[in-house]
Amino acid sequence: MRPDLLILGGGCAGLSLARRLSSAPGQRCPETVVLESRQAYADDRTWCFWSEPGAQLTHLVRHRWPGVYVAANGIVANVDCRAFPYAMIPSPAFYGESVSMIGKTTQIQLELGVSVLSEPIKAGKEWHLETTAGTRSARMIVDTRPPGPPLRGEALLWQSFVGHEIESAEPVFQPDLAGIMDFAPVRGGRILFFYLLPFSADRALLEVTILAEEPLGPGVFHDEMQQFLTRTLRGRAYTIRRSEHGILPMGMPQPPAPADPTYVKAGVFSGGARPSSGYAFQRIQRWAKDCAKALADGLPPLPHPRDPLPLRAMDALFLRVLRHQPELAPELFLTLFQKVDSARLIRFLSDGGTPLDFAAIISGLLPGPFLRGAFSALTSSRPP
Ligand SMILES: Cc1cc2nc3c(=O)[nH]c(=O)nc-3n(C[C@H](O)[C@H](O)[C@H](O)COP(=O)(O)OP(=O)(O)OC[C@H]3O[C@@H](n4cnc5c(N)ncnc54)[C@H](O)[C@@H]3O)c2cc1C
């Protein structure tokens, strides 16, 4: 097949676009090839989000939590989120259904075990690139590959984490309550919190997350993870069913608008992640829907849209405060979850905040740590 479109990388963004295209009727689906370096998909992550009304792919959700908590400095804020439960899609459910949808479409081919080796070069009306399976060409490219190893300075902060999905020998968890942020004291400028997603009384994902200026490999988390396991399981025997590790950018400059509209970058390092949280799954779904529609209408692919100015400004200020005064983070997040109405907060966290939601968040944070932090961040001579 000589495709119209090459999708580089068949992870969350690449598969999301391909599965959307697979639903475009007949002639409207461009001939597409997805090049993915993995030989096979694995159970390598869970995707969580708030199931607010705009959330997509909710039929793949395997667990919902009607309540979550945030804890810091010995205080716990319980959040009733029955109206917009915190929801989880395990990656095998998404990968499996996406591969099956693509497999039913003759216009889309998913090639596993093929790595892109060179940057695309345009000659005439086509892009050309080298892969481990030879030269590939197409009129349009959507590039979802990560740009390279994450480096200090490329994002305002990096969110690094390690998680173990464990099975306890005895019931110990409360499956209707997720701990989304349980802060440890800030040390050495690193913000550390524990994340607990119980799936049943004896099975849960336990994650240790660090927000810091530098990205962190999995080795750094060993001691805190041991402490977390000991504290949570209180001596019960357990087995680790699988583990995951991630490094997500928080506040990474979005690439400039593409010079040539037939080549766009997408995914978590190219505007797919919400700067202030690193959450990306639902943003990627919204982008995939719009991008697939443009392609099916015969238009070039779309990059991730820029966030509206008020959201960008809030996220940028929030990240600057966290970066300049990390010791404020536990109190800051706790205040946010204690003081702001949960529906408003969830809409804001899910990119759908109204001007009234913004106002509620600002007035919930002021006066308090945010005002002190914002003043200090804005008057500091340190670079952002
Ligand atoms: C462990 C983990 C947990 C996460 N949990 C959440 C969550 O709960 N909620 C949320 O909103 N977000 C979460 N995220 C963030 C985000 O949703 C995911 O990172 C998501 O997978 C990003 O999609 P992507 O397509 O940008 O990157 P990926 O899914 O990583 O896809 C990139 C693909 O490109 C392929 N590739 C790389 N180089 C090449 C090459 N040279 N040639 C061909 N293919 C190549 C890779 O193999 C990969 O499949 C999590 C991330 C991780 C890592």
pLDDT (tens digit per residue) in 289-302: 999 999 999 999 99
Any ligand 1 atom below 6 A from CB of 24: no
| Same domain for 260 and 244 | no
Any ligand 1 atom below 6 A from CB of 242: no
The lowest-confidence range among 26-30, 35-39, 121-125, 319-323 is 26-30
Any ligand 1 atom below 6 A from CB of 281: yes
Q: Is the residue at 65 inside a domain?
A: no
Instruction: Give the distance (Å) from ligand 1 centre to CA of residue 273.
Output: 11
| Same domain for 221 and 188 | yes
| Same domain for 339 and 271 | no
Instruction: Give the distance (Å) from ligand 1 centre to CA of residue 281.
Output: 9
Confidence of residue 380 (pLDDT cuts 50, 70, 90): low
Strands 75-80 and 134-138: unpaired
Any ligand 1 atom below 6 A from CB of 35: yes
Most ligand 1 atoms within 8 A of CB, residue of 116, 144, 284 to mutate: 144
Q: How wide is the angle at C-alpha 154 spanned by C-alphas 148 and 156, nearest 5°?
A: 140
Residue that is last in its domain, among 212, 233, 250: 250
Confidence of residue 48 (pLDDT cuts 50, 70, 90): very high
In the block, tokens 């804005």 appear at: 378
Instruction: Give the distance (Å) from ligand 1 centre to CA of residue 48.
Output: 14
Q: Is the residue at 347 inside a domain?
A: yes
Nearest to 7 by CA among 145, 113, 147, 105: 145
Q: Pick the residue whose CA is nearest to atom 3 on ligand 1.
A: 45
Q: Residue 248: what pLDDT?
A: 96
Q: Is the residue at 184 inside a domain?
A: yes
Confidence of residue 359 (pLDDT cuts 50, 70, 90): confident
In the block, tokens 């999301």 appear at: 16
| Same domain for 138 and 19 | yes
Instruction: Give the distance (Å) from ligand 1 centre to CA of residue 73.
Output: 33
Any ligand 1 atom below 6 A from CB of 16: no
Q: Is the residue at 58 inside a domain?
A: no
| Same domain for 342 and 233 | no
Most ligand 1 atoms within 8 A of CB, residue of 268, 270, 287 to mutate: 268
Instruction: Give the distance (Å) from ligand 1 centre to CA of residue 270.
Output: 12
Round to whole Å and give the CA distance between 363 and 79.
19
| Same domain for 279 and 143 | yes
Q: Taking a C-beta distance cutoff of 8 angstroms, is the pair 42, 14 a contact?
A: no
| Same domain for 98 and 9 | yes
- The average confidence (pLDDT) of the chain is 93
| Same domain for 327 and 197 | no
Q: Residue 283: what pLDDT?
A: 97
Contact residues for 256 (Cβ-Cβ < 8 A; gap 6+):
none
| Same domain for 313 and 259 | no
Q: Does 375 score more than 80 pLDDT?
A: no
Q: Does 369 score more than 70 pLDDT?
A: no
Q: Taking a C-beta distance cutoff of 8 angstroms, is the pair 211, 158 a contact?
A: yes
Name, of 25-34, 200-209, 370-379, the range with top average pLDDT: 200-209
Round to whole Å and give the CA distance between 116 and 380.
43
Q: Is the residue at 178 inside a domain?
A: yes
Alpha-carbon Rg for the chain, nearest whole angstrom, is 21
| Structural domain count of the chain | 3
| Same domain for 235 and 180 | yes
Q: For the segment 73-122, what is each residue's pLDDT rounded down to a tens digit?
A: 999 999 999 999 999 999 999 999 999 999 999 999 999 999 999 999 99
Instruction: Give the distance (Å) from ligand 1 centre to CA of residue 12.
Output: 6
Q: Residue 258: what pLDDT?
A: 80
Q: Write out the residue range of the structural domain in which residue 202 sits.
A: 157-250
- State which ligand 1 atom lies nearest to the alpha carbon of 266: 26
CATH of the domain at 186: 3.30.70
Peptide bond preceding 367 in cis form (omega within 30 of 0): yes
Q: Residue 310: what pLDDT?
A: 87
Q: Is the residue at 198 inside a domain?
A: yes
Give the residue-averaged pLDDT of 329-337: 92
Instruction: Give the distance (Å) from ligand 1 centre to CA of residue 14.
Output: 9
Give the residue-averaged pLDDT of 313-327: 90
324 backbone dihedrals φ, ψ, rounded to 5°: -80, -35
- State which ligand 1 atom lies nearest to the alpha carbon of 268: 26
| Same domain for 181 and 109 | no
315 vs 209: which has the higher pLDDT:
209
Q: Pick the residue whose CA is nearest to atom 36 on ligand 1.
A: 9
Any ligand 1 atom below 6 A from CB of 349: no
Nearest to 163 by CA among 185, 144, 178: 178
The pTM (predicted TM-score) of the whole model is 0.95
Round to whole Å and give the CA distance between 45 and 55.
19
Most ligand 1 atoms within 8 A of CB, residue of 33, 47, 277 to mutate: 47
Which amino acid is located at 203 in the chain? R
Query: 369-379 and 355-365 are packed helices; what angle lies between their axes, rounded to 10 degrees?
Result: 90
Q: Is the residue at 63 inside a domain?
A: no
Q: Pick the residue whose CA is nearest to atom 23 on ligand 1.
A: 12
The lowest-confidence range among 160-174, 198-212, 330-344, 356-370 is 356-370
Confidence of residue 262 (pLDDT cuts 50, 70, 90): very high
The lowest-confidence range among 54-68, 188-202, 251-265 is 251-265
3-state SS, one letter per residue, for the chain: CCCCEEEECCCHHHHHHHHHHHCCCHHHCCCEEEEECCCCCCCCCEEEEECCCCCCCHHHCCEEECEEEEEECCEEEEEECCCCCEEEEEHHHHHHHHHHHHHCCCCEEEEECCCECCCCEEECCEEEEEECCEEEEECEEEECCCCCCCCCCCCCEEEEEEEEEEEECCCCCCCCEEEEEEECCCECCEEEEEEEEEEECCEEEEEEEEEECCCCCHHHHHHHHHHHHHHHHCCCCEEEEEEEEEEEEECCCCCCCCCCCCEEECCHHHHHCCCCCCCCHHHHHHHHHHHHHHHHCCCCCCCCCCCCHHHHHHHHHHHHHHHHCHHHHHHHHHHHHHHCCHHHHHHHHCCCCCHHHHHHHHHHHCCCHHHHHHHHHHHCCCCC
Confidence of residue 149 (pLDDT cuts 50, 70, 90): very high
Give the residue-averaged pLDDT of 257-270: 93
Any ligand 1 atom below 6 A from CB of 279: yes
Instruction: Give the distance (Å) from ligand 1 centre to CA of residue 99.
Output: 16
Round to whole Å and give the CA distance between 242 and 233.
17
Strands 177-183 and 191-200: antiparallel
| Same domain for 99 and 19 | yes
Confidence of residue 170 (pLDDT cuts 50, 70, 90): very high
